[in-house]
A and B are shown apart, each in its own frame.
Chain A
Amino acid sequence: MIKSKILGLAVCASLFCGAQAVQARETKSFIISEFYPAMYSEADNCPEGLNPLANEQFRKALELAGRSEEEIKLFLTDLYKNPGAGAATSAVVGPMISERARFEGKAYNPYINPQLVPDPGWKAAVGRYSYGFNLDGRGGDDKASFEDPESHERGVNNQLFRLWGCTQNHIAKLPGEIPNYPSEAWEVVIETMPVWLVSVTGQDLSKDGDVVISVDRGLKHGMRDAHGHMRPDMTYMIDPDPKAHNELRGKIVDGEVRAEGDALFIRGDPFFQPEFNFSKPKIRFKLGHDGKGHGLIGGYMPWLPLYWQHASHQFITEQLRGLDVVGFYNALRRLADYDPDPVTGENRQMSTAWWIEVVPAFAIPYDPELERKASKDQLASTP
């Protein structure tokens, strides 16, 4: 069994955090320091094997473009022997791949028009276990659901795991292995993306009881420590944009923070994913002795932003991330399990679960006066 915990949530102590709905006695705030799809990989997840890398699709596109077998072999060898650096080959192959969609005999961009390319198929994961939440409330009766491998809660809805569970660059990795793509992408994006803040407010956070969880976006990106991890106890101003503020209600149960709500919107980053727009969101995490917390955020989310994350980078996505975007598109449509379109009946959202790690931080409201005052004070005191 390969088990990967891809976690991330954080807490910081501050009297300034949101959550005015509760008589705020105590608030701890955190930044989300790790965030990626919650994967629980086992050997029998993929009885038909893993999804092939995109070269199979590339081969078809090149054949369609009239290239000889010898040329195709040369192109594909160069692309995968030297990914990213085979500029000359990319320049030749790229346009062919990027114009592989056909309509009435004309070439079209397959990333914008994936429906114009025959579905190459997609292998989805199967199995008993997956991290996540029981989002639809059906519990173990739901045949398509999983069982949480740790809490053993049944009825876990996590189609995102099913989607990625047989894809080479997304399956769980053991420590020491090359990290999977989502964790790499997260490490890149947090260099510049404003932090995601999580604040827990309750009467006494050392005891079980009611809490309100605020999820906000900060105004600055996080700072790293000497290990390259997110530095704890930094201070972040909260983005005053009301759209950046969310509140979930819940409890601390046996030391674990659990909360849920109707919706949760987090603005992301174009490189990673432009937004995370959860329906029926749930969150849970537990603090360790080092002050960090680990747990999950989950909920249904529209599959289109998931598609956009990969389709927007077009040929590069397929070459470097090793996935077939057209197959991915069709899998998203097939695996979506919530929010049917009233006209087509096709589901528009997918159940997901994301590992989170949180580290303590201070979250304070945006204060333009503070900024102006600091500017004045510092100009006056600068030697």
Chain B
Amino acid sequence: MLLRKFAVVTPVLAAAVWALPLSSPVQAAEAYSAAGQVADLPQPTVRRLTPSQYKNILTDITGGGIAVEGKFEPDVREGGLVEVGNGQASISTTGMERYSAAALLISREILDESRRATLLPCAPASPKHSDDKCAREVLSKIGKFLFRRPLSENELKNRVSVADMAADKLGDFYGGLRLALASMLESPQFLFRREESEPDPNRPGEYRLTAYSKASRLSFFLWDSGPDAELLAAAESGELHKPKGLQNQVDRLLASPRLEAGIRAFFTDIMHFDAFEALSKDATIYPQFTADVVRDAPEQTLRTIVDHLLTHNGDYRDLFVTPNTFLTPILGSIYKVPVPDLADNDSPDRSWQPFKYAENDPRAGILSQISFVALHSHEGRSSPTLRGKALRELFLCQKVPDPPANVDFTLLQDTSNAKLRTARDRLQAHAASPMCAGCHKITDNIGLGMENFDSSGQYRTTENGVPIQPSGVLDGVAFSDVPSLAKAIRNHRAAPSCFVSRMHSYGVGRASTRAEAPFIATLQKEFSADGYRVADLLRTMTLSPDFYRVAPPQLASAETN
């Protein structure tokens, strides 16, 4: 399925808005409003489920214990987010085969004898024959969670019919049910999050998401999973459209421990942790960078983030400087700090332990962690350019152009050059070319500030025997080492505004439109006023009608293949 959407933006309006600095959305909104243009309202989205959302929904339905491994389709990243790219993603023929195979396996597990008593609302009159009534009950109950809304009578009727027919043919009620369940698991209604709109009675002439679409947006945003029974009930009753009803649900979702899954999914997306699936290092150079490190590195950062933002309700900006983290013994060996192995054989999770860096330790903050410095490096050497680019794009929302196709990287790649012994030397020689100088000015200055970390994330003070000189300037702020660079990023005005924009895009599943600039500006003001507390930001965002506002259907030109 491919859905294409068209938005009409006049060139004048586009030029007026894009010329504004991204780090100043408040000014952007004001300027936009002053222009007096008609806002281009966003359209509802259709997003392919991410692998984690797919798994989480099944866990919610079954209570866990169902193995869903791997990916069905490669991720598509757009605007820095897979969650946005998934709005443009389709399913290939091969991918569909994988979904189908998984559907059959999962439906078998869901209907396994050991689960029937707890998962199924009824038992058939005979396990060897069809049972229309019981099949309807089962499919209706599970289908509601898979499609994130009640099944229409036609949808239900068709699947009950399949279940009955197959049951009679197989002589097995559950065998028939399995096929009907599998058909739902490979349905676009399950695999895609299709949002629908309706007229907004509180804003005549405007549109909003339907209650079920609203429930889904909320739930996937905050829990990285489909709506639970209570949220679906609030949608069904219409409570979700009432301010008090919405507030009750938002507060409930935010108070739930499942918020952690939502935060993890968001940071996994914005920090490109999906790239760890393909990350490797040259074992000759970095023998300590093993598969265990690849497994633990992103988890360290996610634990740091969850602990700081949720457990301690910390200032978002302090993520860049916090000395608090969690380590495993394997990560301890990279960071060269003592972390005893406390895990029992049957409880590997216990090997994670809280750890606080000493006051002057260069390791403070998430950007000094392996998940950043190793991910944004080459296989056999560090990369100030990749790190600088990632830092600007991921955390400051500044676009760095890709290098031209005909760049000669010889100087950069030769780490054994006797005259150019440090990355700084090699980059300076490389950037002497006018073709390269422009972009490298943007990236290298800050990337070189992280040269104390090699490609595997180990701290070093020299490269090829020459002392590393990590000083530089970040957008006018001088830094002398990694901690002062981290501080400069923490205090950069674009850091919190970028975070708000990314979170909004992530929540709505698309790039923010010009019409949403005032809303985002408000969010940024509130975020600042609330001391950059992420839970408060999430609450402000999800309680606002603007988060669910969409274009009237007639303005959305959609084409479905």
Binding site for B on A (CB under 8 A): 14, 16, 220, 223, 225-227, 229, 231-237, 362, 364, 367, 370-371, 374-375, 377-378, 381-383
Contact = CB atoms under 8 A, between A and B. Distances in A.
Contacts of B264: 383
A231 B332 CA distance: 11
Interface centre among A232, A377, A382, A383 (most CB of B within 10 A): A383
A226 B342 contact: no
B283 A362 contact: no
A232 B303 contact: no
A231 B283 CA distance: 13
Interface stretch (B10-18, B347-355, B496-504, B529-537): B347-355
A232 B338 CA distance: 11
Contacts of A236: 340-341
Given A233-B336, A378-B350, A227 B283 contact: yes
Interface in B323-338: 326, 329-330, 332-334, 336-338
A323 to B, nearest CB: 35
Contacts of B334: 233
Interface centre among B260, B289, B336 (most CB of A within 10 A): B336
24 contacts: A223-B329, A225-B288, A226-B286, A226-B287, A231-B288, A231-B330, A233-B332, A233-B336, A234-B330, A234-B341, A237-B341, A364-B338, A364-B340, A370-B340, A371-B342, A374-B342, A374-B350, A374-B352, A375-B342, A375-B350, A377-B353, A378-B350, A383-B261, A383-B264
A287 to B, nearest CB: 16
B283 A226 contact: yes
Contact of B288 (A226, A370, A371, A378): A226
Interface in B274-294: 283, 286-290
Contacts of A374: 342, 350, 352-353
A233 B333 contact: yes
B307 A229 contact: no
Interface in B291-327: 303, 306-307, 311, 326
Contacts of A371: 342
A281 B329 CA distance: 32
Contacts of A223: 329-330, 333
B391 interface: no
B271 interface: no
B339 interface: yes
A381 B306 CA distance: 9
A231 B339 CA distance: 14
Contacts of A367: 340
A371 B287 CA distance: 29
A235 B339 contact: yes
B341 A220 contact: yes
B332 A383 contact: no
Nearest to A233: B333
Contact of A381 (B261, B303, B336, B341): B303
Given A237-B341, A370-B342, A383-B261, 18 more contacts: A223-B329, A223-B330, A226-B287, A226-B288, A227-B283, A231-B290, A233-B333, A233-B334, A233-B336, A234-B330, A236-B341, A237-B340, A362-B332, A362-B338, A375-B350, A377-B353, A378-B352, A382-B349
Contacts of A383: 257, 260-261, 264
A235 B331 CA distance: 11
A117 to B, nearest CB: 43
A370 B343 CA distance: 12
Given A225-B288, A226-B283, A377 B354 contact: yes
Contacts of A381: 303, 306-307, 311, 326, 352
A235 B329 contact: yes
Interface centre among B332, B333, B354 (most CB of A within 10 A): B333
Contacts of B332: 233-235, 362
A233 B339 CA distance: 10
B333 A234 contact: yes
Nearest to B260: A383
A145 to B, nearest CB: 40
Given A374-B350, A377-B354, A227 B340 contact: no
B325 to A, nearest CB: 12
Given A362-B338, A383-B264, A229 B329 contact: no
A367 B340 CA distance: 10
B298 to A, nearest CB: 14
B333 A232 contact: yes
7 A-B pairs with least C-beta separation: A362-B338, A226-B283, A225-B287, A233-B333, A235-B338, A374-B342, A226-B287
Nearest to B350: A378
A181 B342 CA distance: 33
Contacts of B336: 233
A378 B349 CA distance: 7
Contacts of B303: 381
A14 B336 CA distance: 11
Interface in B343-382: 347, 349-350, 352-354
A375 B340 CA distance: 13
A371 B340 CA distance: 9
Interface string B244-273: 000000000000010011001000000000
Contacts of B329: 223, 234-235
Given A235-B341, A381-B303, A226 B353 contact: no
A14 B338 contact: yes
Contacts of B339: 235, 362
A375 B343 CA distance: 8
Contacts of A235: 329, 332-333, 338-341
Contacts of B311: 381
A226 B293 CA distance: 11
Contacts of B353: 374, 377-378
Nearest to A228: B287
Nearest to B335: A233
Nearest to B281: A226
Contacts of B288: 225-226, 231-233
A223 B293 CA distance: 12
Contacts of A227: 283, 287
Given A233-B332, A235-B339, A383-B261, A225 B290 contact: yes
Nearest to A367: B340
Contacts of B261: 383
Interface centre among B257, B334, B336, B340 (most CB of A within 10 A): B340
Nearest to B286: A226
A34 B171 CA distance: 64
Contacts of B257: 383
B59 to A, nearest CB: 11
A11 B349 CA distance: 28
A236 B339 CA distance: 8
Nearest to B261: A383
Nearest to B291: A226
A216 B87 CA distance: 59
Contacts of A378: 349-350, 352-353
B282 to A, nearest CB: 9
Nearest to A234: B333
A34 to B, nearest CB: 16
A29 B261 CA distance: 40
Nearest to A374: B342
Nearest to A375: B350
Nearest to B283: A226
Contacts of B333: 223, 231-235
Contacts of A370: 340, 342
A239 to B, nearest CB: 13
